[in-house]
Amino acid sequence: MMLILTRKKGQTIVLNDNIEIIVTSIEGDQVKIGINAPADVKIYRKEVLETIQASNREAVQTPLNLQQIKQMTKKNQNME
């Protein structure tokens, strides 16, 4: 189900009592929005999220050999 709303510049939409979406400007066919949300709320453009998800799927499907695991473990120990 999709809710469709009409908003003008400067008007807001509130989600879950703690996320505010503000229409900051409208220029031609582009709408700029601002989002106020708690720091623990992840906000991504859809195309970025899809890229992250594809990368994660690829990482899970690509088996690591023992040498790669040793190198990753060594890098992590050096960072501490």
If asked whether residues 5 and 17 sit together in one domain, one would say yes
Q: Tell me, what's the pLDDT at 56? A: 85
Partners of 33 in the β-ladder? 23
Burial level of 7, CB count in 10 A (0-12/13-18/19+)? Answer: middle
Q: Tell me, what's the pLDDT at 75? A: 66
If asked whether residues 32 and 7 sit together in one domain, one would say yes
If asked whether residues 36 and 4 sit together in one domain, one would say yes
Q: Tell me, what's the pLDDT at 8? A: 96
* Per-residue b or e along 18-33, where b marks 16 or more CB atoms closer than 10 Å to that residue's CB: eeebbbeeeeeeeeee
Q: Tell me, what's the pLDDT at 4? A: 96
Provide the 8-state DSSP code for 63.
P
Q: Can you give the pLDDT of all 80 residues of the chain as single tens digits?
A: 999 999 999 999 999 999 999 999 999 999 999 999 999 999 999 999 999 999 888 877 777 777 777 787 876 676 65
**CB-based contact 9:33 (threshold 8 Å):** no
If asked whether residues 51 and 28 sit together in one domain, one would say no
Q: Tell me, what's the pLDDT at 66? A: 76
Structural domains of the chain, count: 2
Give pTM, 2 decimals: 0.65
Q: Tell me, what's the pLDDT at 59? A: 77
Partners of 31 in the β-ladder? 26
